[in-house]
Structure 1
Amino acid sequence: MDLVDKVAIVTGGAMGIGFATCEALAAQGAAIVIADLKGAAAAAEKLRARGYKAAHADIDVSVEDDSHRMAEATLKAFGRIDILVNNAAIYSALSLKPFEQLTVTDWRKMLDVNVIGQFLCCKAVLPTFKKQGSGRIINISSGVAFKGNPGMLHYVASKGAIVSMTRTLATELGEHGVLVNSVAPGFTLSDGVHQNPELAKTVSGFSVRNRALKRDMVPADVVGAVTFFAGPHAAFITGQTLVVDGGAYYH
């Protein structure tokens, strides 16, 4: 129960890695605000039914006003913000294609959610973090940022940007007592991936073959790294990216 009296926002928290993260943080004692485009209310109710403290915010992370509403809703519900997990991203709906077939529209949509969305959410919670003199930001990147997977150039670039953003934010925000780290999962069989059989079929077998641990990765495999960065044992760690992929890439 390392996170008793802490309040955590998890974007994209209604399903997959996001909801698994919500469950793990709640089990450590944190109050949870699930921020998502859809399904946030139902996901928060699942947590409350299990005796956890949870609220929700229906938001699009790429919309600046929505990110502010997220922060305001959290303060209204629980009075503080201690942890932001930037998990919301476009991935499971991807269709793999060569880079020359990508359009400017593809790029802008990807960057609006995966990069600018994380920026806006960080910006929204920063006034509270500064006032408190503390805070944790955990950005979800991806192992593809280090491997350069083909067929998804805009996604790979967006996740590489998150690694770089994590480092710069850690440098800028250290004086305010805010720690910023990143978790980079490998290919994970999440709820969204199961809804895209083409993606699951194309990537899953390749991913397992290239891991030291020869099995599929599931959302529960990611949450230990997130809760570590959120908790007291990571109090002197910032600017780091931890790859969690069963040994496919040694970072």
Structure 2
Amino acid sequence: MSLNGKIAIVTGAAQGIGEATAKRLAGEGATVVVADIQDSTRTLDTILKLGGKAEAHHLDVRLKDNWANVVREVVERHGRVDLLANVAGVVNMLSEDSVVGLTEEAWDHVVGTDLKGVWLGMQAVIPHMIERGGGRIVNIASMAALRGLPNLASYSAAKGGVVSLTKQAAFEYGEKNILINAICPGTIDTPILADITDEMRQANANAHIVRRLGEPTEIASMVAYLMREGSFLTGEIYPVDGGWAAKGNF
């Protein structure tokens, strides 16, 4: 399926995987709604300078009325939503992130963004996709959803929820020609890692068979594939992890 002329919403598009995804989908011909709680002007300007089609919307994915406003404006302008990439996500920077040490404030912030935001996004766009005869959704989970990792209790819980919610939504709406999948990235070199030490960066790189961190563009490529080619793929969870899961702890 060509993405030319498709209308795509990408959350978390101001930076990192969301930015790379917005640029990739625009490069394949989609009109991209660059959505983020942060200023996404840089992403928008880059797409437009490269000849792509895009528009920017402020979106706090935790808020149902924000989703309603953005989707309503997009449908009024373009008549439909064909594609949704739920990329927006945070890690806990507010407290310790063990099960015991995690604060309720931190839990609500991470789960509200990383899991509730995905649910609200699908809830907002799926009725419009049904009206148009189908659509495709890709949710960004994490390898943290599939294995225990140190000090990531809220993040692991949220991303594990994304995995389960993806399967459930795929089951519910597959007969409506809405294909829904999730990607579990390994450690990707995004601004979330800006403050880690060189030693931590190297340790994260060594956890992968390829001995390096992933690039946001590599996750964006998988998003684009699922949007474009994945006509027989739904309810699936795809590790894109440089061999991390296969490597174990060696």
Q: Spell out, residue by residue over 1:131-152, the C-alpha distance to the aligned partner (whole angstroms, 9 max, x if none).
A: 0111101000001111211101
Contact 1:88–1:113 at 8 Å: present in 2 too? Answer: yes
Deviation at 1:226, TM superposition (A): 0.5
Deviation at 1:201, TM superposition (A): 4.5
217, 224, 230: which one aligns with 1:227: 224
The separation in 1 between residues aligned to 2:94 and 2:10, in whole angstroms, is: 22
Contact 1:188–1:218 at 8 Å: present in 2 too? Answer: yes
TM-score, with structure 2 as normaliser:
0.93
The separation in 2 between residues aligned to 1:104 and 1:125, in whole angstroms, is: 30
For residues 38-117 of structure 1, the aligned pairs below 5 Å read: 38-91=38-91, 93=93, 97-117=97-117
Give 2:236's aligned residue: 240
Q: Spell out, residue by residue over 1:3-23, the C-alpha distance to the aligned partner (whole angstroms, 9 max, x if none).
A: 101111000111111000011
Contact 2:95–2:101 at 8 Å: present in 1 too? Answer: no
SS in 2 for 1:160: helix
Call closer, same or farther: CA 1:49–1:103 in 2, change over 3 Å: same
Give 2:118's aligned residue: 118
SS in 1 for 2:81: coil
For residues 85-234 of structure 1, the aligned pairs below 5 Å read: 85-91=85-91, 93=93, 97-194=97-194, 197-198=195-196, 201=198, 203-231=200-228, 233-234=229-230
SS in 1 for 2:208: coil
The separation in 1 between residues aligned to 2:39 and 2:128, in whole angstroms, is: 26
Length, aligned pairs only:
247
Deviation at 1:164, TM superposition (A): 0.4
Call closer, same or farther: CA 1:208–1:94 in 2, change over 3 Å: farther
TM-score, with structure 1 as normaliser:
0.92
Q: Spell out, residue by residue over 1:215-234, the C-alpha distance to the aligned partner (whole angstroms, 9 max, x if none).
A: 12121121111011101x21
Letter in 1 for 2:127: P
Give 1:14's aligned residue: 14
Letter in 2 for 1:192: I
Contact 1:83–1:137 at 8 Å: present in 2 too? Answer: yes
SS in 1 for 2:139: strand
Please identify runs of 4+ aligned residues in structure 1 that moved more than 4 A.
Answer: 92-97, 200-203
State the Cα RMSD in Å.
1.9
Work out the percentage of aligned pairs sharing the same amino acid.
Answer: 32
After the TM superposition, which of the residue ranges 71-80 and 87-96 deviates more from structure 2?
87-96
The separation in 2 between residues aligned to 1:75 and 1:34, in whole angstroms, is: 15
Structure 1: gaps (5+ residues): none
Call closer, same or farther: CA 1:95–1:214 in 2, change over 3 Å: farther
Deviation at 1:85, TM superposition (A): 0.3
Deviation at 1:96, TM superposition (A): 5.5
The separation in 1 between residues aligned to 2:12 and 2:130, in whole angstroms, is: 24
Letter in 2 for 1:155: Y
